[in-house]
Amino acid sequence: MFSLKSPALFIFLSSLFQHLNWAISLTSTGQTLVLNDIPYYVPATPFATVPFPNSLQSAASAGGLAPVTVVVLSASNASLSGLEQAIDAFGVDDVWNEGFLEAILVSYATGVKPIIPLNGSFTLPGANQSSLISVLQSNNSSSSIPSGPYFLSTSGSLYQPLRLYSDFAGAFTQPLIRVSNSAYAALPANIAGIQSPAVGVPSRLYYTKTAHQPLAGVRLGVKDIYDVAGVRTSDGNRAWYGLFPPASVNAVPVQRLVDAGAVIVGKMKTSQFANGETATADWVDYHSPFNPRGDGYQDPSSSSSGPGAGEGSYPWLDLGLGSDTGGSIRGPSQVQGLFGNRPSHGLVALTGVMPLAPQLDTAGFLTRDPAIWVAAAKVLYVDLPFYNQYPKTLYTVDYPTSADNEADAVLLAFLAKLEGFLSTSATALNLSTLWTNTLPAGADPSLDEFLNITYPILISKEQTMLVRDPFYAAYAAVHDGRRPFVDPAPLVRWAFGDSYPNSTLTEAVANKTVFQDWWSANVQRNDSATCSDSLLLYTAGVNPLYRNEYNGPPQVPYGFGTSRISPFTEVPDFVIPIGSAAYNSTITLHTEFLPVTVDILAAKGCDGLIFNLVQDLQAAGIVNASLTGQTITGGEILLRM
Ligand SMILES: *[C@@H]1O[C@H](CO)[C@@H](O)[C@H](O)[C@H]1NC(C)=O
Ligand SMILES: *[C@@H]1O[C@H](CO)[C@@H](O)[C@H](O)[C@H]1NC(C)=O
Ligand SMILES: *[C@@H]1O[C@H](CO)[C@@H](O)[C@H](O)[C@H]1NC(C)=O
Ligand SMILES: *[C@@H]1O[C@H](CO)[C@@H](O)[C@H](O)[C@H]1NC(C)=O
Ligand SMILES: *[C@@H]1O[C@H](CO)[C@@H](O)[C@H](O)[C@H]1NC(C)=O
Ligand SMILES: *[C@@H]1O[C@H](CO)[C@@H](O)[C@H](O)[C@H]1NC(C)=O
Ligand SMILES: *[C@@H]1O[C@H](CO)[C@@H](O)[C@H](O)[C@H]1NC(C)=O
Ligand SMILES: *[C@@H]1O[C@H](CO)[C@@H](O)[C@H](O)[C@H]1NC(C)=O
Ligand SMILES: *[C@@H]1O[C@H](CO)[C@@H](O)[C@H](O)[C@H]1NC(C)=O
Ligand SMILES: *[C@@H]1O[C@H](CO)[C@@H](O)[C@H](O)[C@H]1NC(C)=O
Ligand SMILES: *[C@@H]1O[C@H](CO)[C@@H](O)[C@H](O)[C@H]1NC(C)=O
Ligand SMILES: *[C@@H]1O[C@H](CO)[C@@H](O)[C@H](O)[C@H]1NC(C)=O
């Protein structure tokens, strides 16, 4: 037994205390609450301070907090029915719930006369219990407290809660909260779920979109190769995450979205150093996200797979910021059935973003909703010209010509509708033939040979120089000369780069440039009326790729194909979901459905033409927004069960 009189213990304790010097640093990181079975996070810092209505004393049940609803009324709705209508409309918000009707704080815009009788109890039509109602004291300052759900403390602190959702698809690396005007931090809250961190989202009721803030309240997930101020970037690598300090400023593309009102809810998964990795074996440091479509065990593609899986899974997530070097936005958009754009190269500076190959790297979006897509594009790509007159030339490359299966039937039906919409008929283009017939001086007559190693040389030579070498040196410097762990896929690519002399990089850039110039002279030319003289369609097809299958070791991404056109020619390449096709799942032993998508290309700089086309096709009923779920038209996500 220990005795406080024991001299040895006394000496031990006093030396311990001396060592600790009784230093105490205690910081509140907020708290979690459950209201009507819905979990919330309440931040440590209040949004505003207001007088606490005495009548509310009994309502402050959980830790001294009362759930309240703030309703801002202007002259046009400062009536009892205006109040009822306002509260009725709150029902569409996923963060507000009827529990917040414990009390209603009515706030009048400046100059509006309170005409609701007040500080009493009030039963809304259809509600089972009465709400306490109170008029917010402050006249003008109160109107800066937006309508929506809040928690109110007895000391008058008014908090904006975040609703907590489970990241069951494993799409996030780290959920975030904004802790100041210019910094973010890890969300200090969780709910049940294995390896599924909670993500917190604010009510949409707080935000009003304006010309200055067209993305106000848009919930954004950021691929974890973009710096977010206050937070470490992982690039999908544990050693990298641990080695470098938190970013001090947002990456340029992130800052543009935040300035326009977007709400960052978290960092999202990337395959390592944005290289191509196949689920599950290639993802050693972190587990690949889960594709919600079909049986739930299909590869989510690479490398913007976090935003892709998240957009396919979560109705509460509006927009994913991804990057595309050789297909990293397009692949996840194709297999998750999303709208995804690889933009024209160079539309936005990539300061604060990890490079793969600067000659090819681009920043773009993955989303279910064309309206959000276009609004976000206008913010990210400043001064992007929009065109609404379409070219009459429509090319297809490697597109099906007969409806041999369900996917091909969907593709042909879409092509027919597009031809009808553009009042034209498509021309099938044979790129290798066209290339051979219009061969640039000194180029190889075989396109496949000419561009076979161009892509792997560009990414490996650039990334070893810009990322690997400084990483290895910095890691060795603080770990006694050790080398950090890196997944097999980037290692295979980097080793490929090392096996070629540095001069090959110059050769790769030269080959890319020859092809780019050839393309803009022979395939897609600029046009003063329609921006691009043609649109070009291709498809990735529908190919089940199970995440529980054993693959061979990762391969160097040799070769040329339709997906390489846009990286080499710098033209925009947008993915559009157009339907679903059945397959027989070896997981569920049942028929399941995978998304069918097309890719549309235009001349460089003509991104606005395609954005406009997609909006017009949506208005014409030819294209629809995607839904979350088992298919792009919804359904229970199987991997949750
Ligand atoms: C309503 O209650 C608040 C706070 O308790 C009080 O300051 C205010 O005067 C009351 N207003 C009316 C109209 O009774
Ligand atoms: C009241 O009306 C104003 C303008 O007419 C509107 O901006 C506001 O959202 C309305 N308030 C609620 C709570 O619906
Ligand atoms: C609220 O604002 C109006 C218009 O500015 C003013 O007439 C009124 O006195 C103010 N009321 C209070 C309580 O400050
Ligand atoms: C009110 O109570 C009824 C019966 O208990 C229930 O069906 C209904 O959902 C409740 N309505 C609200 C708004 O809670
Ligand atoms: C409230 O006051 C601020 C300045 O304190 C002013 O800029 C704003 O226009 C006022 N709001 C209303 C609705 O009058
Ligand atoms: C393009 O033409 C070449 C040569 O005629 C032919 O071998 C190839 O199959 C064609 N490609 C397509 C996609 O039709
Ligand atoms: C591409 O390069 C790889 C590796 O050198 C080689 O195995 C393959 O045959 C090449 N393909 C073509 C079409 O040149
Ligand atoms: C560039 O093109 C030349 C000529 O066809 C070819 O031999 C070489 O392998 C290519 N190199 C790269 C890096 O693309
Ligand atoms: C190739 O480039 C890398 C990165 O700039 C450099 O470290 C290396 O020394 C170069 N190799 C040769 C042989 O010049
Ligand atoms: C699924 O399997 C059944 C039975 O073998 C077959 O008739 C059907 O065509 C298959 N469906 C698809 C989409 O492959
Ligand atoms: C076409 O326009 C793009 C951007 O608007 C520009 O980069 C490109 O050089 C133009 N091409 C030609 C052939 O003028
Ligand atoms: C889009 O949705 C409408 C209404 O649900 C439907 O009629 C139409 O077939 C859909 N179009 C596509 C391409 O799925």
Residue 639 lies in a domain: no
**613-632 pLDDT per residue, tens:** 999 999 999 999 999 999 99
Q: In the prediction, which pLDDT does 381 show? A: 98
Task: Give the rounded percent of residues in the chain with a pLDDT score beyond 90.
Answer: 81
Q: How far is the CA of 511 from the centre of ligand 8 (A)?
A: 6
The residue-averaged pLDDT of 363-378 equals: 98
CA of 499 to the centre of ligand 9 (A): 12
Phi, psi of 33, rounded to the nearest 5 degrees: -140, 160
**Is the distance from the beta carbon of residue 452 to the nearest atom of ligand 7 less than 6 Å?**
yes
Spell 177-192 as b/e; 16+ CB within 10 A means b.
bbbeeebbbbbbbebe
Pairing type for strands 263-268 and 198-202 reads unpaired
| Structural domain for 116, as ranges | 33-160
- Do 174 and 117 reside in the same domain of the chain? no
37 C-alpha to ligand 4 centroid (Å): 15
Burial (Cβ within 10 Å: 0-12, 13-18, ≥19) of residue 591: exposed
User: Taking Cα atoms as reference points, which of 284, 325, 280 lies closest to residue 304?
Assistant: 325
3-state secondary structure 154-179: CCCEEECCEEEEECCCCCEEEEEEEE
Between the CA of 463 and the centroid of ligand 9 the distance, in Å, is: 13
Atom of ligand 9 at shortest range from CA of 465: 4
CA distance 175 to 266: 4
Residue 21 maps to a domain: no
Instruction: Give the model's pLDDT for residue 19.
Output: 61
473 and 431 co-located in one domain: yes
CA of 108 from ligand 5 middle (Å) equals 13
Per the domain annotation, does 641 fall within a domain?
A: no
pTM: 0.92
Do the Cβ atoms of 574 and 600 come closer than 8 Å? yes
Q: Among 10-14, 534-538, 595-599, which is the least confidently predicted range?
A: 10-14
Q: What is the number of domains present in the chain? A: 3
**Does one domain contain both 172 and 156?**
no
Residue owning the nearest CA to atom 11 of ligand 2: 73
Please tell me whether residues 146 and 186 are part of one structural domain.
no
CA nearest ligand 11 atom 9, residue: 604
Same domain, 206 and 246: yes
Beta carbon of 446 within 6 Å of any ligand 7 atom: no
Confidence of residue 13 (pLDDT cuts 50, 70, 90): low
Helix (H, G, I), strand (E, B) or coil at 400: coil
Per-residue confidence (pLDDT) for residue 53, from 0 to 100: 77
Shared domain for 207 and 104, answered yes or no, is no
pLDDT in tens, 125-144: 666 667 777 776 445 544 58
Task: Dig out the tokens for 492 from the structure.
Answer: 């295979």
Q: Which atom of ligand 11 is nearest to the CA of 606?
A: 5
* pLDDT for the residue 7: 55
Location of structure tokens 């996500």: 637
| pLDDT for res 125 | 65
Evaluate if residue 55 carries a pLDDT over 90. no
pLDDT on residue 128: 63
Any domain includes 176: yes
pLDDT at 79: 79
Average pLDDT of the chain is 92
Please tell me the distance between residue 455's alpha carbon and the centre of ligand 6 in angstroms. Answer: 23
CA 216 centroid distance within chain: 16
Domain's final residue, options 109, 131, 160: 160
> What's the mean pLDDT in 385-405?
96
- What are the pLDDT digits (tens) for 313-366? 999 999 999 999 999 999 999 999 999 999 999 999 999 999 999 999 999 999
CA atoms within 13 A on the CB side of 506: 3
What pLDDT, on the 0 to 100 scale, is given for residue 609? 98
Q: Is the CB of 11 under 6 A from ligand 4?
A: no
Would 474 be classed as within a structural domain?
yes
Q: Are residues 215 and 154 in the same domain?
A: no
Whether the CA torsion 602, 607, 609, 614 is positive or negative: it is positive
Which of 106, 135, 136, when mutated, tests ligand 1's pocket best, judged by the most ligand atoms within 8 Å of its CB? 135
- Find the 606 Cα to ligand 5 centroid distance in Å: 42
The pLDDT value recorded for residue 120 is: 60
User: Which atom belonging to ligand 10 lies closest to the Cα atom of 406?
Assistant: 13
Give the ligand whose atoms come closest to the C-alpha of residue 133.
1
Asked whether residue 446 falls in the same domain as residue 316, the answer is: no
- Which residue's C-alpha comes closest to atom 2 of ligand 4? 128
Share of the chain above pLDDT 70, in %: 91
pLDDT in tens, 193-246: 888 999 999 999 999 999 999 999 999 999 999 999 999 999 999 999 999 999
Which atom of ligand 5 lies at the shortest distance from residue 109's CA? 13
- CA-to-CA distance for 292 and 74, rounded, in angstroms? 43
Structural domain ending residue among the three candidates 160, 190, 221: 160
Task: Specify whether the backbone of 423 is left (phi greater than 0), alpha (psi in -120 to 50) or beta.
Answer: left
Residue 199 and residue 263 in one domain: yes
Q: What is the pLDDT of residue 142?
A: 46
Query: Nearest bound ligand to CA 82?
Result: 2
- Decide if 13 is inside a domain: no
Same-domain status, 362 and 425: no
402 and 360, same domain (yes or no): no
3-class secondary-structure state, position 427: strand
Q: Find the range with the poorest average confidence among 14-23, 326-335, 406-415, 476-485.
A: 14-23
- Of the candidates 583, 588, 596, 599, the residue with the CA atom closest to the CA atom of residue 544: 583
Q: Which of 380, 401, 419 is the last residue of a domain?
A: 380
At 353, which CATH number? 3.90.1300.10
Q: Is 137 in the pocket of ligand 1 (CB under 6 A)?
A: yes
CA angle 514, 518, 520 (to 5 degrees): 120
pLDDT at 4: 47
Ligand 1 center to residue 40 CA distance, Å? Answer: 29
Q: Is 49 helix (H, G, I), strand (E, B) or coil?
A: strand
**Residue 34 — φ and ψ, nearest 5°?**
-125, 125
pLDDT single digits (tens) 560-580: 999 999 999 999 999 999 999
Q: Work out which ligand 6 atom sits closest to the CA atom of 428.
A: 14
pLDDT in tens, 59-98: 667 778 999 999 888 878 777 788 888 999 999 999 999 9
Instruction: State the pLDDT at residue 78.
Output: 78
Is there an atom of ligand 3 within 6 Å of 141 CB? no
Please indicate, yes or no, whether residues 216 and 335 belong to a single structural domain of this protein.
yes
Q: Does residue 385 belong to any structural domain of this protein?
A: no
For ligand 4, atom 7, name the residue with the nearest CA: 128
Distance 103 CA to ligand 5 centre (A): 26
Whether the link from the prior residue into 303 is cis, omega within 30° of 0, is yes
Question: Cβ(366)–Cβ(338) under 8 Å?
Answer: yes
Q: pLDDT per residue over 250-296, tens digit each?
A: 999 999 999 999 999 999 999 999 999 999 989 999 999 999 999 99
Residue 295 buriedness (CB in 10 A; 0-12 / 13-18 / 19+)? buried
Number of Cβ within 10 Å of residue 146's Cβ equals 17
Q: Is residue 440 part of a domain?
A: yes
The pLDDT value recorded for residue 59 is: 66
Mutate to test the pocket of ligand 11, among 345, 384, 526 (most ligand atoms within 8 A of CB): 526
CA 134–ligand 1 middle distance (angstroms): 7
Between 122 and 449, the more confident residue is: 449
Q: Name 10's Cβ contacts closer than 8 Å, sequence gap at least 6.
A: 4
Would the pLDDT of 582 be above 60?
Answer: yes
